Amino acid sequence: MIVEQYVHTLIPSDPQFSPTSELVIRFLDGLSALGAAPLNPELLVLKPSGRLRSFTDPLTGETKSFPANDRVPLMSTAELAPTIAALQQYYVALEGQGPPRLRPFPLCSNDSPFTGSYDFSVGCSLRVEPVSMSDLGDERPENEEPSFGEACRGSSRTGLFRHPVTGELIEVPNASCARFWVELEFGKWLLPKIGSSLDILDPAISKHASESFGVPFAQGFHHF
């Protein structure tokens, strides 16, 4: 499996969990106080615009459309509440550079430790209905497990992930679907060192997320 962009996820145990805007602010502000936020960050919100964006599939020639988002830059988290409080779908991101003082986990490039700077963002995503958190890459069984971000189906609460290097299956309880989740995204071609578990995030960061939102989180990932 070739992973160009690795994104680590924090997935709440309740797939219907939807935080208030105040809880999102508490999480982001606390992340900065913890020293785990991106350096020199820019705060932005992506929210549905009501418009469609169309493109032509280069392989089939078919015209396809997808919902377009408005990009709203903000000066501080104090502006978040009036921006997202009434929304049923959004993506809030702190975009900047890494590594922060408190690193989420060590990163590798081509199986070697990476010690340079990199693009780093922390995002909070909310959807109208729960979507799949699983990522089986190109080995997804046809008509069985939905890909990351697709509508959930079935009753299984277990998230399924393919190890980004070995391709081995990793099962994570209570991580199959979510309306809300947290993302940590790193520079291209950078991966954490993963064994048989995805529970690799610095414990202080995962504890902060649980205390900020008042729910336990499992860890997963998606890639593109």
Residue 183 domain flag: yes
**pLDDT in the model for residue 2:** 74
**pLDDT in the model for residue 137:** 83
Least confident of 12-21, 66-75, 103-112: 66-75
pLDDT above 80: residue 139 = no
Residue 150 domain flag: yes
Residue 40 domain flag: yes
Q: How many domains does the chain have?
A: 1
Domain that holds residue 86: 6-223
Q: How confident is the model at residue 62 (pLDDT cuts 50, 70, 90)?
A: confident
Residue 215 domain flag: yes
Residue 195 domain flag: yes
The SS3 of residue 46 is strand
Residue 153 domain flag: yes
Amino acid at 163: H
Report the percentage of the chain scoring pLDDT > 70.
94
Residue 1 domain flag: no
